[in-house]
Amino acid sequence: MSVPLSDAQRLYPSLTTINFDMMARFRSQKSPSGLKGKPDILRKLGHIESFQSAQHSLELYVGCAISCRYVVPEAFLTSNLSIENMVEQAFARAILQHPLFTVGRVNDESKKLCWVRLDRIDLNIHVEWKTVPESEDYDRVLQDTLELQVNTNYTHLETRPQWRSVILGSAESKFIDIVFVVKKLSTFAIAGCMIPCKLTCLSKL
């Protein structure tokens, strides 16, 4: 589902794709770029960003992650609302408040690395839901997830932003753990720590 900025701030039955064609508040008035054709370049990477990108290319480090636990009230568990829809809506609003998480990167193998504007983000790609069986050690699964995510490279940098999330829960639990993972460029890492705090609709459940 594609939604403009004005609608992304409302609650919808489902929200899986963010469309940035009408998001004037979060972009300049340049014409939007598509995933095909000439990219809409925003700026070149700074010196520190380029240095860290080189380290990433050499796999000296990949990313960083933060995990937050949200307790789901009984009233919500027994309602017809979907926790998946609620979380995706919260992610959409949080990401839209940070334009840094709506950009891709081009010329990764050259000395002219640049940030490019993205028109769409597919939450089906960036947000993964995982139910932990009761037979498994939940804390061990959470730890393994964190370790896996901080060591898994990012792909399709030209068309996808450099963040992802894994959301863990069990059939019997009354909480979910949201693991937010971000590429370890300095500004990305700092902003990435803010995203869980921006999931306001979850905090108010």
Q: Contact, 168 vs 69, CB < 8 A?
A: no
Cα-Cα-Cα-Cα torsion 54, 58, 35, 26, nearest 10 degrees, comes to -50
The more confidently predicted of residues 103 and 22 is: 103
Domain ranges for the chain, please list them: 62-101+119-203
Q: How confident is the model at residue 188, as a pLDDT?
A: 54
Q: Contact, 184 vs 62, CB < 8 A?
A: yes
pLDDT at 21 over 60: no
The more confidently predicted of residues 20 and 23 is: 20
Q: Which helix (H) or strand (E) holds 68?
A: strand 63-71
| CA-based max dimension of the chain | 54
129 CB-contact burial (10 Å; exposed 0-12 / middle 13-18 / buried 19+): middle
Which of 3.20.20.70, 3.30.559.10, 1.10.10.10, 3.30.1300.10 would CATH assign to domain 62-101+119-203? 3.30.559.10
The residue-averaged pLDDT of 44-72 equals 76
Q: How confident is the model at residue 141, as a pLDDT?
A: 97
